[in-house]
Amino acid sequence: MNASSKVPIGQLVNFIGGGTPSRQNADYYGGSIPWVTPKDMKRWDITDAQVRITEQGLQNSAARMAPEGAVLVVVRSGVLKHTLPVGIAKVPVAINQDMKALICSPDINSDYLAHYIKYKSPEILGWVRATTADNFPVDKLKHLKIPLPALKEQQRIAEILDEADALRAARRSTIQTLDSLEESAFVEYFGNPERNPGEWPLENLATVLQIPLRNGLSPSSTGMIEGRVLTLSAITGRAFNQGSTKAAKFNETPSKNHLVDARDFLICRGNGNLDLVGRGAFPSESMPDTTFPDTAIAARVRPDKLLPSFMQRIWHSRLVRRQIEVSARTTNGTFKVNQGALEKIEIVIPPLERQEAFSRYAVHLSEVRQVQQEQLSELEALFEALRDRAFRGEL
């Protein structure tokens, strides 16, 4: 077939599903067979799983073995709200019912297929049905057509994309190392906040605020005033993401108190994921043309009590997270915290001199991290461009 030929994926691979051995039989678990579920699909190369099953568990359930080289795809999971996990089995694995394994015929390269399915993520995620568990019709994936150049050309494309992806992975690893260094430095300077070895005072958030907590302003579908609004992904990651904004319309002109200000620690007040509720970040700079939404709460702390670098780190410590999770209330599947609950959060207040010493180190790491993040963004753009050209036959 020539490079312009497109063939339905179902004609090139064999789809197999999986299952779950009975949890009531201990003999089915703790064996040597990796049992892959959506929780394991956080990397490209799948070499193991959080849970292993026995041969007995495999034989007495709907779990199926996928051979080395099979393309693994999550077809049912809440993660499909935003992400399509795809990977390659680098060893034989069993899979559960939320997965499909695609076993390739001799006409298609498994890495090439996996890259193509990932490339088509936006289209595939558009098929997702929000039922008891988010899922998409597997038949649609079978009918999805894939460009099918010669096998040697498929291998060449897959190798180029693998190399570009490895560069991205290396940069992410560097960023993770920098995050680990800051965490280690925090413990060195302050110890475990829950134990408070320095016996420093504990104060409620309300007592260290410059001005009262305040909610943001959410857009309106009937609004006439155009602007931009921060999305929650800007403040729920490891660092503030300045690019997480979108165009919006408001019923009223956002006041100064509703604009993104570098002095404000912005806190997520509601999310379907309990781990993200109460997460927060200081903006890397003020954004006078961007509003923070009503789903976020701004906390401006006194600089004579808490420095931003310390506040950022202590807020994500187990000491604070435990208090947030206890105070969170759930409504229709969404966990929420309000201003009153946040004002009662107790925070360790170390001497300012010690905070300043930590801050100098943290700021240095942050500057290095920013450079690495910018380089990662460039590599992400390069990868997307390469992949787009590859599947348009232009690489």
Dump the DSSP string for 335-388: EE--HHHHHT-EEE---HHHHHHHHHHHHHHHHHHHHHHHHHHHHHHHHHHHHH
Average pLDDT rounded to a whole number, residues 20-49: 96
Look up the CATH number of the domain holding residue 229.
3.90.220.20
226 and 257 in a single domain? The answer is yes
pLDDT over 70, % of the chain: 99
Q: Are residues 31 and 90 in the same domain?
A: yes
Q: Which of 54, 49, 44, 69 is nearest to 21 (CA)?
A: 54
Spatial neighbors of 27 by CB under 8 A, at least 6 apart, are 54, 56, 57
Residues 13 and 113 sit within 8 Å (Cβ to Cβ): yes
pLDDT at 293 over 50: yes
- At 131 the pLDDT is 72
Residue 56 has pLDDT above 50, yes or no: yes
One-letter identity of residue 193: P
* Residue 43 pLDDT grade (very low, low, confident, very high; cuts 50, 70, 90): very high
286 and 297 within one domain: yes
Statement: residue 4 has pLDDT above 90: no
Q: What is the mean pLDDT of residues 170-185?
A: 94
Grade residue 332 by pLDDT with cuts at 50, 70 and 90.
confident
Asked if 107 and 156 sit in the same domain, the reply is no
**Residues 220, 237 within the same domain:** yes
Q: Identify which has the larger pLDDT, 202 or 5.
A: 202
Q: Is residue 252 part of a domain?
A: yes
**Are 382 and 325 part of one and the same domain?**
no
Q: If you average pLDDT over residues 333-352, what whole number do you get? A: 95
Q: What is the pTM of this model?
A: 0.77
26 with 128, same domain: the answer is yes
pLDDT of res. 2: 45
Mean local confidence (pLDDT), 226-232: 94
C-beta of residue 282 within 8 angstroms of C-beta of residue 331: no
In the predicted model, what is the mean pLDDT of the chain?
94
Does 117 reside within a domain? yes
State how far the alpha carbon of 383 is from the alpha carbons of 38, 148, 173, 376, 390, in Å.
24, 20, 17, 10, 10
For position 325, what pLDDT does the model report? Answer: 95
Place of tokens 């049905």: 129
Domain assignment present for 124: yes
Residue 1 has a pLDDT of 39
Average pLDDT on 70-92 reads 95
Give the domain extent around 99: 6-148
Does residue 114 sit within a domain?
Answer: yes
**C-alpha 110: how far from chain center:** 25
Residue 389 clears pLDDT 70, i.e. is over it: yes
Asked whether residue 1 is assigned to any structural domain, the reply reads: no
Q: What is the chain's length?
A: 395
On whether both 139 and 63 belong to a single domain, the answer is yes
pLDDT for res 108? 97
Distance CA 87, CA 73 (A): 7
My answer on whether 105 and 184 are in the same domain is no
Q: Is residue 175 left, alpha or beta, with left meaning phi > 0 and alpha meaning psi from -120 to 50?
A: alpha
Which of 129-133, 145-149, 254-258 has the least mean pLDDT? 129-133
Q: What would the mean pLDDT of 208-229 be, rounded to a whole number? A: 94
* Range 276-292 average pLDDT: 95
Q: CA-to-CA distance for 152 and 109, rounded, in angstroms?
A: 9
The verdict on 70 and 183 lying in the same domain is no
Task: Report yes or no on 280 lying in a domain.
Answer: yes
| Total domains present in the chain | 3
User: Which residue would you say has higher pLDDT here, 331 or 58?
Assistant: 58
Q: 154 and 112 in one domain?
A: no
Is there a single domain that holds both residue 34 and residue 101?
Answer: yes
User: How large a percentage of the chain has pLDDT more than 90?
Assistant: 89
